[in-house]
């Protein structure tokens, strides 16, 4: 499972989201890696832009509703790539569904929205202490379930952003094990002080 996660993280996050300016380790190197130290070394070049603690300074969300663990790629007001590690201890798994836990689709969309919040709230022209409010969503497609032990690798692109008027629009995708889990055609936000 760890190799599957690393392969997904390295190929999906680095290739699809981060772009050609980052070195991507080959799948062969991943398959040849043995043991925790060797597997861990494959992610050594993966830069963390915002840690969980730094995300907490940007967003007001707290456990159990904080859905961005870290940000690994970031361009203020334009795009971001973030990670949510989905554990069996998530409170929503108690009722969704007992014996066959699945992360609710609306929380997958919320995780993408929170990543948009980080992207916009850290932009020039946004007043300190502003909050990011989800105003609408359209074109959502769920492709595969997200279950305990998965790592949700999310990418968002801000398609419209006006800090002065406090509006933003974005689109996003989230992947699990190299496969598309959810795609959102458009999210709309209001930024308020």
Residues catalogued as catalytic: 96
Measuring CA to CA, which residue among 78, 112, 115, 118 is closest to residue 183? 112
Cβ-Cβ contacts under 8 Å for 192 (sequence gap 6 or more): 130, 131, 133, 166
Cβ-Cβ contacts under 8 Å for 118 (sequence gap 6 or more): 50, 55, 58, 59, 68, 71, 74, 80, 82
**In this structure, what token pair is assigned to residue 173?**
């995708």
């Amino acid at each position: 499972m760890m190799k599957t996660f690393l392969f997904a993280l390295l190929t999906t996050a680095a290739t699809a989201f981060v772009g050609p300016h980052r070195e991507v380790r080959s799948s062969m190197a991943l398959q040849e890696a043995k043991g925790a130290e060797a597997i861990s070394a494959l992610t050594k070049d993966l830069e963390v832009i915002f840690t969980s603690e730094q995300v907490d300074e940007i967003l007001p969300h707290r456990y159990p509703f904080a859905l961005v663990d870290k940000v690994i790629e970031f361009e203020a007001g334009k795009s971001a790539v973030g990670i949510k590690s989905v554990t069996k201890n998530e409170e929503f798994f108690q009722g969704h569904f007992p014996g066959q836990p699945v992360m609710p689709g609306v929380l997958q969309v919320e995780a993408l929205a929170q990543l948009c919040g980080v992207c916009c709230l850290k932009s020039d022209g946004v007043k300190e202490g502003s909050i990011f409010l989800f105003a609408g969503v359209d074109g959502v497609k769920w492709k595969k379930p997200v279950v305990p032990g998965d790592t949700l690798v999310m990418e968002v692109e801000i398609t419209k952003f006006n800090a002065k008027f406090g509006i933003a629009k974005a689109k996003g995708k989230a992947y699990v094990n190299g496969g598309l889990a959810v795609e959102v055609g458009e999210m709309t936000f209001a930024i308020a002080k």
